């Protein structure tokens, strides 16, 4: 097996991730063929100690070049896991050892960062993803605050191209559209990616074991949208989610929500008090998506019968509900405007996305000064909600569609359709830094930018 180079790989690493083709039995006797970590998808929950350096061996048993990205960790570019940041790859049928010092504490995740372009069997369309829990004093999820914790990765499978946008980005969004153009682009849309099958973790709704709970239990749910293609809605009839962390970072104002809206790349940590004995479906509010697998059964002790679904009354999702009311940020050193547009390509072709008028790459366009505070304004002039992600940095939400907030630290934010989001980012992680939409096809066709430090 060829060595990938990099750090010497003497002895066994603290963590070994093996990339292999796998078969996932989403529903009994129906297997789908994909690629996973250590024979499964999601891969193992990786627990790390904040600040404690560990070695990770990645063994790639496929014929594709791979990258393992540590999403939400503040680590150097050469181990972050992105080609654009010049992280050394894991060669086809090869291996490489990385050393990482995980921080900050909280719910993070790992996933492939390979490009897919027109190949729906590559990149985040595969099963290469899993949770990372960084343990530490500031982890918002301290033992004693919950009786049971569950990890719920939301996924879709067997993606296919279609000429229609089948997502539901408008479902929970009734807000203003400050970036809506006066004259709409009427050119015919290009290819979108859709999915006929859904799951939470590796089972479609009803195909796996129910989550067993007892009355009075406080269940800590770590929810991750590991989809390559779309934002997701999730509800649990009879119950409310108490949101305690977004993207693994404690929120200033833990508050209740009836429905979660979560973009690819985002994590939500929510406490659910189990106070409605019965058998329930936690799942997507859209009947077609839930019936195609997006859900899991929650079963109270000594309760039996068909799992019950009741449509939620309130689909609204508002990040600012969890922020510090009346708070503000220090004045920025500089403001950066980023304008996102879609160039519709017509039937059978891939749409192109531009950042400030140009698709990736941008020649030295975004250069940061170490220590400076940047106010970044995302102008979404497209007809989709986009989950926008910064590598290697946290940012603070400042404003969403005119609503100010403070204290919410994230690494990925959904910028609503024709909407505007403002975030503050302190440039405290020198090195190449990738910014992109976390919808794989958008990223691959232009929706990304590279930030560097001067
Ligand atoms: Cu996007």
DSSP of 23-81: EEEEETTEEEEEEEETTBSS-PPEEEETT--EEEEEEE-SSS-B-EEEET----HHHH-
* Distance (Å) from CA 318 to ligand 1 centroid: 19
Tell me what the mean pLDDT of segment 246-275 comes to.
97
393 CA from centroid of ligand 1 (Å): 19
Average pLDDT over residues 247-260: 97
Report percent pLDDT > 70 for the chain: 95
In this structure, of 118-122, 194-198, 267-271, 363-367, the range with the lowest mean pLDDT score is 363-367
Question: What is the Å distance from ligand 1's center to 359 Cα?
Answer: 13
Residue 372 has pLDDT above 80, yes or no: yes
Q: Which of 28-37, 59-68, 362-371 has the lowest mean pLDDT?
A: 362-371
Ligand 1 center from residue 439 Cα (angstroms): 5
The torsion angles phi and psi of 321, rounded to 5 degrees, stand at -60, -25
Of 144 and 104, the structure prediction assigns the larger pLDDT to 104
The β-bridge partners of 415 are 386
**Euclidean distance between CA atoms 396 and 409, whole angstroms:** 5
Lowest mean pLDDT of 143-147, 172-176, 424-428, name the range.
172-176
362 alpha carbon to ligand 1 midpoint, in Å? 18
267 CA from centroid of ligand 1 (Å):
17
Task: For residue 238, give Cα distances in angstroms to 13, 220, 288, 319, 330.
Answer: 45, 17, 21, 22, 41
pLDDT digits (tens, 9 = 90+) for 39-74: 999 999 999 999 999 999 999 999 999 999 999 999
| 142/161: higher pLDDT | 161
For residue 436, the CA-to-ligand 1 centroid distance in Å is 8
- CA 56, CA 71: separation in Å to the nearest integer? 15
Output the six-digit token pair for 34: 């994909």
CA of 446 to the centre of ligand 1 (A): 10
Length of the chain: 454
* Residue 83 backbone dihedrals phi, psi, to 5 degrees: -60, -40
Distance, CA 229 to ligand 1 centroid (Å)? 9
Report yes or no: 246 and 261 within 8 Å, Cβ to Cβ. no
**Residue 414 Cα, ligand 1 centroid: separation in angstroms?**
9
CA distance 376 to 426: 11
pLDDT above 50 (res 379): yes
Alpha-carbon distance 1 to 218, whole Å?
A: 48
Question: 193 burial class (0-12, 13-18, 19+ CB within 10 angstroms)?
Answer: buried
- Residue 335 CB neighbour total at 10 angstroms: 11
Please determine, for residue 5, whether its predicted confidence score (pLDDT) is greater than 50. Answer: no
Rounded to whole angstroms, how far apart are CA atoms 105 and 108? 8
Question: What pairing do the DSSP bridges indicate for beta strands 267-273 and 218-225?
Answer: antiparallel
Task: Please list the residues that pair with 40 across neighbouring strands.
Answer: 37
**Ligand 1 centroid to 254 CA: how many Å?**
28
More confidently predicted of 143 and 137: 137
Report CA(416)–ligand 1 centroid distance (Å). Answer: 10
Taking the model in full, what pTM does it have?
A: 0.95
Write down the pLDDT at residue 9.
53
pLDDT exceeds cutoff 50 at 2: no
- pLDDT exceeds 60 at position 173: no
Which of 164-168, 289-293, 443-447 is the least confident region? 164-168
Query: Longest C-alpha distance within the chain, in Å?
Result: 63
pLDDT, residue 6, reads 45
CA of 70 to the centre of ligand 1 (A): 20
Distance 227 CA to ligand 1 centre (A): 12
pLDDT value of residue 168? 53
Average pLDDT of the residues of the chain:
94
- Spacing, Cα 202 to ligand 1 middle (Å): 25
Instruction: Compute the distance from residue 387 Cα to the ligand 1 centre, in Å.
Output: 6
Instruction: State whether the Cα torsion 295-299-304-309 is positive or negative.
Output: negative
User: How many angstroms is it from 195 CA to the middle of ligand 1?
Assistant: 16
Distance in Å, CA 434 to ligand 1 centroid: 15
CA of 119 to the centre of ligand 1 (A): 17
Q: How far away, in angstroms, is 386 Cα from ligand 1 center?
A: 4
Q: Which is it for strands 160-162 and 192-194: parallel, antiparallel or unpaired? A: antiparallel
């Amino acid at each position: 097996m060829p060595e990938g180079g990099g750090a010497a790989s003497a002895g066994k690493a603290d963590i070994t991730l093996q990339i292999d083709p796998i078969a996932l039995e989403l529903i009994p006797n129906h297997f789908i063929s994909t690629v996973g970590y250590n024979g499964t998808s999601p891969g193992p929950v990786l627990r790390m100690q904040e600040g404690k350096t560990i070695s990770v061996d990645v063994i790639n048993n496929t014929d594709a070049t791979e990258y393992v990205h540590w999403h939400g960790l503040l680590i150097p570019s050469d181990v972050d896991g992105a080609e654009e940041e010049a992280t050394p790859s894991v060669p086809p049928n090869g291996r490489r050892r990385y050393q990482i010092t995980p921080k900050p504490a909280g719910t993070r995740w790992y996933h492939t960062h390979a490009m897919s372009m027109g190949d729906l069997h590559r990149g985040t369309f595969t099963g290469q993803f899993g949770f990372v829990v960084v343990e530490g004093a500031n982890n918002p999820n301290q033992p004693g605050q919950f009786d049971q914790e569950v990890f719920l990765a939301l996924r879709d499978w067997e993606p296919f191209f279609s000429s229609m946008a089948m997502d539901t980005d408008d479902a929970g969004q009734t807000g203003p559209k400050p970036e809506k153009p006066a004259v709409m682009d009427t050119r015919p849309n290009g290819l979108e990616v859709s999915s006929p099958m859904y799951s939470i973790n590796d089972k479609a709704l009803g195909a796996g074991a129910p989550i067993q709970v007892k009355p009075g239990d406080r269940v800590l749910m770590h929810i991750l949208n590991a989809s390559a293609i779309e934002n997701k809605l999730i509800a649990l009839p009879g119950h409310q989610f108490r949101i305690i962390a977004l993207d693994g970072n404690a929120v200033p104002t833990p508050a209740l929500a009836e429905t979660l809206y979560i973009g690819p790349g985002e994590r939500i940590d929510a406490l659910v008090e189990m106070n409605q004995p019965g058998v329930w479906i936690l799942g997507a509010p859209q009947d077609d998506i839930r019936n195609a697998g997006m859900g899991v059964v929650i079963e109270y002790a000594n309760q039996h019968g068909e799992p019950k679904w009741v449509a939620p009354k309130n689909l609204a999702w508002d990040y600012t509900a969890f922020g510090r009311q009346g708070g503000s940020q220090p004045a920025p050193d500089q403001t950066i405007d980023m304008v996102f547009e879609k160039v519709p390509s017509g039937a059978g072709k891939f749409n192109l996305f531009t950042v400030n008028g140009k698709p990736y790459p941008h020649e030295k366009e975004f250069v940061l000064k170490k220590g400076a505070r940047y106010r970044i304004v995302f102008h979404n002039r497209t007809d989709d909600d986009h989950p926008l992600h910064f590598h290697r940095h946290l940012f603070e939400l400042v404003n969403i569609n005119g609503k100010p907030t403070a204290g919410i630290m994230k690494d990925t934010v959904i910028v609503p359709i024709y909407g505007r989001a403002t975030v503050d980012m302190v440039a405290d992680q020198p090195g190449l830094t990738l910014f992109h939409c976390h919808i794989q096809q958008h990223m691959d066709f232009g929706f990304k930018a590279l930030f560097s430090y001067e």
